[in-house]
A and B are shown apart, each in its own frame.
Chain A
Amino acid sequence: MMRSLELPDPSPGGEVLVRWWVVAVALAGCRREEVVDTGRQVEAFPRCAESDPLRRPFFGDTHVHTALSLDANLQGTRLRPGDAYRFAKGEEVGIQPYDAEGNALRRLRIDRPLDFVVVSDHSEFLGTVALCTTAGSPAYDAAECVRYREQPDLAFVTINAYTAASPDDASYPDLCGDDASLCRDAGLDVWTEVREAAEAAYDRTDACTFTAFAGYEWSGGPGTKNLHRNVIFRHERVPAVPTSYFDAPTPEGLWDALDADCLDEPPCDVLTIPHNSNLSGGTMFETFDDAEPDAATAARRARMEPLVEVFQHKGASECLPGALGSDELCGFEVVPYSSLSGANLDVEGTPLPQDFVRTVLGEGLRFEDAVGENPYAFGLVASTDTHLGASGAAAEGTYPGHGGAGAGARDEVPEGLPDLVTLNPGGLAVLWAEENTREALFRAMRRKEVYGTSGPRIVLRTFGGWDYPADLCDATDLEAQGYAGGVPMGGTLTGSGEAPRIVVAALADPGTTDAPGTPLQRLQVVKGWLDGDTVRTEVIDVAGGPSDAAVDADCRPSSTGAQRLCGVWTDPAFDPSAPAFYYARAIEDPTCRWQARACRAAGITCPTSDPAWEGCCDDRVPDTIQERAWSSPIWYAPGG
């Protein structure tokens, strides 16, 4: 399958430009790319004054909760979707706690504006929050609503517990009435606010400064085993009501609803992004229907869920140390829990290998080998899961906590650490797209040309092909050659050749005047392949490598890394008969983790008798981390 890049109009230096803007005729092999359904397109594409066929990285957050989410609301969050967008655009906002006059006691501003945001409030309780907080509503004096207002910490547990019911028992809260109509009706206006806020925040001029997507979070968690997914709509043509766990108590049921309410009603278009598989107790990547997994089931999952959120506030889901091969850097932000209740209550559990994306990517190879379709061909993104409405607030140095499963700050400014020490500020989603519009960004998500970072604005690019020159890293037209001679991250390399060549290039976060970025220590390729019926993995340094970089007692880094790294790696053990995936990691030099920064700034030494600071001495978490970025895989499919 061939693909051509559009050529810009020739300039007086046309010959030079033609050499740059290479017509992408794949001479060395064919490639498959996820293609978005252009029949569902509703806006012009391209339409921006700055539109780049070679694509640029757009940084955003696909997982933001506001006061419309029950848990955030109970924790004192007052920022609403419109405020979350203002924060993302760079405005300073007030966050909880608030005084009696309604003045916020904390202020927060993102260090650099984001390009896009998805506000993803929990669909289960949009109506519940409205009913319990609106005096005189039909449910206002229901016992559950009285508890909501008078015992918010208890209500946090008792009402959230509805999402932990088994699929057979899933139901709206009692306060919603026998037919749940009270909550459904109340939720309509809330959904309207979500949609209208997204429309108001979306820049439809040719400046294309910001994109807002309408969306929500489906928050099923039977037995507190997390199955949550974020639902993201391509544009403003969305269903009349969001689907909750109470309406559709399985992922398959969610997809049924999205089929019926959206995909069967073009131009509506949607995708879902599962997150926190690390807390799913072995269930995120199972099927719940009784039918045996088959090609159709696999294809359906792949169609609905092209991406997975591999990192966020409640930990990393990339890999479990020891589960598959050796990887000294695998334990990054792996939380000691295996369920949502474990994370909420700090009750440790044993994470399960099948909950981690690297394992599942391998299972996907096995699946495809068996039935011809890969249900787990996930692209990787990251996000925050902030419950403060503070979109993209992923910086370690200014971390105010994210609420949600973490510590709340409804009543007072947190003394000591602002969050549970095992949790983290989350990360960012980065989409390689021609321009900053819903159409362009959604297409990027569909074809999985996306990656995630643990917070820094690392730029990471990968290509896979058969015949890239070994010195491609020195080419000023690396990206054009990358597209012309192979596939970008998210793509599938087919055809044949001696061995795949994977190009990995990255730029360190340039930082800001107040907070310089951290150099890159190394670039790695993580290879997974099917060896008979066994999935094997290997991690290879392709640029840079281990170093003596460290941080001192005051969290000052002594960095030895690079601002730019690039490597062209040829798979020395390539087996043309073996399906494989290759994804990249960009690893920064060590820096202090958020709690270490706070603890050292406060002069805390261990052991400490101050319970507000006891997290400083918690040996479950390191004082230093190596922030990173994870690319989406490039797959190799034999015989394609």
Chain B
Amino acid sequence: MEQPDLVRPGRMTLRRLTILLALGGALAGARAAVERAPAVERALVVTLPADASLLEEAAAVREEVLVAEARRLGWDRTDPIVARHLVRAMRAAGATGDDGDLLEEAWRLGLDATDPVVRERLLDRATRALVDDLEPAPGELEAWRTEHADRFRRPERVRFAHLFLAPDRSDADAVAAPLLTLAPEEAATRGDALLGLRPVDTATAARVGAWLGPDAAAALADAPEGVWTGPIASPYGRHWFLVLGREPGEVPPLDAIADEVRADWERAVAAERGRERLDALVGAWDVTVVRP
């Protein structure tokens, strides 16, 4: 039975969807504006200290272009967060009146151009807008899963019998020899005790490595099937493995790991596309750097 008071896991709250649509629309508008606007509208002077490094210059240019683009798109006048902030600032300064009047007065005073919080908001919104419309195209997640299969591949599992002998057995090889002729499960029970030992086990090399150390994991990974392999040394003693079968590692289908693939895609693609879009935006602006 549905429990309406509980949150269901999902990718999008209504709040996020609203923001996404708004910014997506803005970015789409921005893209169209970039294509429509004549280059002369995109001219910017960036003033830097004389000793600013090239890295600092590049960072400053990127930041100023983002803010300038946001203003060019009119977000300094249309963004509701900017508007609420300016109204609050006006009231904090003692101004009275309705919100609309206060906002007009703030504009008249040029606060939208000088207020540092407004600038920060525009910068933040513009930065988010570079990637906030990011949704995988149909088939893109499947392509991502395939292209980066190694990130999602589940490890091989090995089914094996396991004989262990403690290190204090000076005659370990002699003890082991007849045991290794027994049925695999019987052999395991005739060895020495070891926490976690199962006569027949199924494990990944990683689990064996976490349990017995890297050498044992490597030996199990390489052991041929149907033949006892050993002795293999671990910190605990000597081991013999009889590989009974291997289940190859696989990349699960997308519907089994959709959240994982999407998170990986978002982290990688968002950063890359953000950089590409920002570079394109900077390229669309005529920037003059001035060092007094």
Residues of A within 8 A of B84 (CB): 136, 138
Is residue A199 within 8 Å, beta carbon to beta carbon, of the partner chain? yes
Least CB separation from B53: chain A residue: A100
Q: With A56-B196, A473-B193 as known contacts, state yes or no: A510 contacts B6, CB within 8 Å.
A: no
Interface residues as binary, B103-128 with A (CB distance below 8 Å gives 1, 0 otherwise): 00000000000000110110110000
Q: Which of A201-209, A277-285, A351-359 contacts B (4 or more CB under 8 A)?
A: A201-209
Least CB separation from A519: chain B residue: B235
Residues of B within 8 A of A136 (CB): 79, 81-82, 84-85, 117-118, 120-121, 124
A205 & B257 in contact (Cβ 8 Å cutoff): yes
Residues of B within 8 A of A17 (CB): 185, 199-200
Residues of B within 8 A of A59 (CB): 210
Q: Nearest Cβ distance between residue B260 and chain A, in whole angstroms?
A: 6
A100 & B59 in contact (Cβ 8 Å cutoff): yes
Q: With A52-B198, A476-B189 as known contacts, state yes or no: A236 contacts B214, CB within 8 Å.
A: no
A238 & B7 in contact (Cβ 8 Å cutoff): yes
Of the residues B7, B89, B202, B236, contact of A195 by C-beta under 8 Å:
B7
A505 & B55 in contact (Cβ 8 Å cutoff): no
Is residue A239 within 8 Å, beta carbon to beta carbon, of the partner chain? yes
Q: Nearest Cβ distance between residue A9 and chain B, in whole angstroms?
A: 12
Could you tell me the distance between the alpha carbons of A50 and B154 in the complex, rounded to whole angstroms?
A: 13
B59 & A101 in contact (Cβ 8 Å cutoff): yes
Least CB separation from B194: chain A residue: A564
* B contacts with A, residue count (CB < 8 A): 70
CB interface residues, B 131-174, toward A, < 8 Å = 154-155, 157, 166-167
Is residue A474 within 8 Å, beta carbon to beta carbon, of the partner chain? yes
Least CB separation from A237: chain B residue: B6
Of the residues A197, A202, A261, A513, contact of B214 by C-beta under 8 Å:
A513
B5 & A265 in contact (Cβ 8 Å cutoff): yes
Q: Nearest Cβ distance between residue B99 and chain A, in whole angstroms?
A: 14
Residues of A within 8 A of B88 (CB): 141
Is residue B77 within 8 Å, beta carbon to beta carbon, of the partner chain? no
B202 & A240 in contact (Cβ 8 Å cutoff): no
Q: Nearest Cβ distance between residue B178 and chain A, in whole angstroms?
A: 16
Could you tell me the distance between the alpha carbons of A108 and B11 in the complex, rounded to whole angstroms?
A: 30
Q: With A200-B262, A476-B188 as known contacts, state yes or no: A240 contacts B9, CB within 8 Å.
A: no
Q: Nearest Cβ distance between residue B214 and chain A, in whole angstroms?
A: 5
B81 & A50 in contact (Cβ 8 Å cutoff): no
* A contacts with B, residue count (CB < 8 A): 73
Is residue B64 within 8 Å, beta carbon to beta carbon, of the partner chain? no
Q: Nearest Cβ distance between residue B126 and chain A, in whole angstroms?
A: 11
B189 & A236 in contact (Cβ 8 Å cutoff): no
Could you tell me the distance between the alpha carbons of A507 and B237 in the complex, rounded to whole angstroms?
A: 11
Could you tell me the distance between the alpha carbons of A137 and B85 in the complex, rounded to whole angstroms?
A: 8
Q: Nearest Cβ distance between residue A191 and chain B, in whole angstroms?
A: 8
Is residue B223 within 8 Å, beta carbon to beta carbon, of the partner chain? no
Q: Nearest Cβ distance between residue A46 and chain B, in whole angstroms?
A: 13
Dominant secondary structure of chain A at its interface with chain B: loop
Residues of B within 8 A of A50 (CB): 157, 202-204, 207
Least CB separation from A509: chain B residue: B235
Is residue A490 within 8 Å, beta carbon to beta carbon, of the partner chain? no
Is residue B259 within 8 Å, beta carbon to beta carbon, of the partner chain? yes
B252 & A11 in contact (Cβ 8 Å cutoff): no
A135 & B124 in contact (Cβ 8 Å cutoff): yes
Residues of B within 8 A of A240 (CB): 5-7
A101 & B7 in contact (Cβ 8 Å cutoff): no
Is residue B183 within 8 Å, beta carbon to beta carbon, of the partner chain? yes
Residues of B within 8 A of A459 (CB): 195-196, 211
Is residue A112 within 8 Å, beta carbon to beta carbon, of the partner chain? yes
Could you tell me the distance between the alpha carbons of A136 and B120 in the complex, rounded to whole angstroms?
A: 8
Residues of B within 8 A of A400 (CB): none
Is residue B287 within 8 Å, beta carbon to beta carbon, of the partner chain? no
A199 & B259 in contact (Cβ 8 Å cutoff): yes
Is residue A181 within 8 Å, beta carbon to beta carbon, of the partner chain? no
Could you tell me the distance between the alpha carbons of A192 and B263 in the complex, rounded to whole angstroms?
A: 14
A209 & B121 in contact (Cβ 8 Å cutoff): no
A/B interface sample: 21 pairs, CB < 8 A:
A17-B199, A20-B199, A49-B247, A50-B207, A113-B206, A136-B85, A136-B120, A136-B121, A189-B13, A189-B16, A203-B260, A205-B154, A205-B257, A240-B7, A476-B188, A476-B189, A476-B194, A476-B197, A508-B235, A510-B211, A516-B235
* Known A200-B259, A201-B263, A510-B211; further 12 A-B contacts with Cβ < 8 A: A16-B186, A49-B247, A112-B210, A188-B13, A199-B259, A205-B257, A476-B191, A507-B194, A507-B196, A507-B236, A563-B167, A564-B195
Closest 10 CB pairs of A and B: A136-B121, A135-B120, A207-B154, A136-B81, A200-B263, A510-B213, A13-B185, A135-B121, A200-B259, A563-B235
Residues of A within 8 A of B (CB): 11-13, 16-17, 19-20, 49-50, 52, 54, 56-57, 59, 82, 100-101, 112-113, 134-138, 140-141, 188-189, 192, 195-197, 199-205, 207, 209, 236-240, 261, 265-266, 268, 457, 459, 461, 473-479, 505-508, 510-513, 516-517, 563-564, 566
Residues of B within 8 A of A (CB): 3, 5-7, 9, 11, 13, 15-16, 55-56, 59, 79, 81-82, 84-85, 88-89, 117-118, 120-121, 123-124, 154-155, 157, 166-167, 183-186, 188-200, 202-204, 206-207, 210-214, 234-237, 247, 252, 256-257, 259-260, 262-263, 267
